[in-house]
Amino acid sequence: MDLGEGLRQAIAKLTKSTIIDAKTIREFNKELQKTLLSADVEVSLVVNFTKNIEEKVLKSKPPPGVAPTDYITNSVYEALVKLMGESYDPKLKRQRILLMGLYGSGKTTTAAKLAKFYNDRGMSAALICCDVARPAAYEQLETLAKQANVSFFGIKNEKDAAKIVKQGLDKFKDKQVVICDTSGRNALDSNLIDELKRVANVFKPDESILIVSADTGQVAGRQAREFNKAVNITGVIVTKMDGSGKGGGALSATNAAQSRVLFTTNGEKLANIEPYNSEKFIGSLLGIPDIASLVSSVQEAVKEAQIKPEDMEMDELNLDTFYTQLKAMGKMGPLKNVFGMMGAPDVPKDMVEKGEEKLNKYKVIISSMTTQERQNGKVLHDPSRVSRIAKGSGTTEKDVRELISDFNKMKKMFDTMKNDRSFKKRFAKFMQ
């Protein structure tokens, strides 16, 4: 069970209680403690966290008109936001960013993600490869730089990282954001510290950022303390937030180490990086819809899929326009993340997996149809067309008929909503 699921279950259990007294609160706190400890949050932080909630709830009364369970839930929300640290608002200005971290933290990929982040916001960005220890680090960052559409510099087989930095800075005098990717090690040793100090002396960074992986849990706090003592870090980027139940532990630990979290990454795509927002993160844990992220994700997916804005406007739903929607959805990442942004993180795993499998199959089937078949579903009543489409897509006739059946149900619902004026007004108000 991950942190979000545990928190949601504890709150759901509380809301079912008929009486909210000291005993109920203590039982609720035990559930919170169990959930936080399983997410690798430090014991001392968990104890203080639940103690503060208990004191606040038992020594104060809910405001008029606020239900006790809502008051407690809000108290938990506020305490979690404080536990996980402040949000970060990146400044779009000329700067030099030095990245450091141990092996396996995702440092090189994060360098490209960060460069793309600033480049997408109108800042000219460049990457310097100063990882002189790891084999193929040069090739990896060079490839990622091309994917991110940013400039790249490195000296293949050169072992003097400071020399690379000096030449890189000379080349990138015109760039607004220059990011330096340094060598990693299995542990922070004297050789790594000396190398980082030499690089920093030449690079003169505005930001010295430590990259830590979410799966390290509370160890992230120890790494932050050690690096800060050695080379004075200005912030932390927590990676792999999508694949670890210890993400909360990593965030709380770095906050406890007085190291500010600047960004988080939650996927393999270069667009999967965002400024850290504690309210948003806690909201996702508690199942609060994140419409802003959903809209942003859709816009990014449409851009990545190279779909024209006018193609997303559906006056009529046919298999052609449906195929466009499927392509955009495929660029939004796992369905689990999409459901999470919609405030439905607890959709059963098997249902999500089956849904993804079905949508992928539907894309293949539609791609095997002719333009006429996509735009006029009536011609699909012809069994010979169904047979040809099945053979062309490598699926069965049953699969093709299932797509047609599901699509017809969807079209019926779409046409109903399109003609429902009251629904249109409610939807417009909701989007505002």
Name the 3-class secondary structure at 125.
strand
Residue 391, token pair as written in the block: 């053979």
Q: What is the mean pLDDT of residues 319-328?
A: 73
Could you give the C-alpha distances from 277 to 87, 99, 115, 222, in angstroms and in order? 4, 21, 19, 22
How far is residue 208's CA from residue 99's CA, in Å, rounded to a whole number? 6
Could you give the C-alpha distances from 106 to 165, 183, 213, 242, in angstroms and in order? 21, 12, 7, 13
Q: What is the mean pLDDT of residues 14-38?
A: 87
Per this entry, what is the length of the chain?
A: 432
Is residue 423 over pLDDT 80?
no
Q: What is the mean pLDDT of residues 63-70?
A: 80
How far is residue 283's CA from residue 36's CA, in Å, rounded to a whole number? 16
Is residue 254 over pLDDT 80?
yes
Query: Which has more confidence, 233 or 421?
Result: 233
| pLDDT tens by residue, 193-248 | 999 999 999 999 999 999 999 999 999 999 999 999 999 999 999 999 876 678 88
- Assign 64 a pLDDT band (cuts: 50, 70, 90): confident
User: Tell me, what's the pLDDT at 238?
Assistant: 95
Is residue 432 over pLDDT 70?
no
Edge-to-edge strands, sheet with 151-153:
151-153, 125-130, 177-182, 95-100, 207-213, 235-239, 261-265, 273-275
User: Tell me, what's the pLDDT at 127?
Assistant: 98
The three-point CA angle 375-379-383 to 5° equals 135
List the single range of 24-38, 98-112, 159-173 with lowest mean pLDDT. Answer: 24-38
Query: What are the structural domains, with CATH classification, of the chain?
Result: 3-84 (1.20.120.140), 95-285 (3.40.50.300), 291-431 (1.10.260.30)
Residue 380, token pair as written in the block: 């699909």
Beta bridge partners of 192: none
**Statement: the pTM of the whole predicted model exceeds 0.85:** no
Q: What percentage of the chain reaches a pLDDT higher than 70? A: 81
Query: Which has more confidence, 282 or 218?
Result: 218
User: Tell me, what's the pLDDT at 294?
Assistant: 46
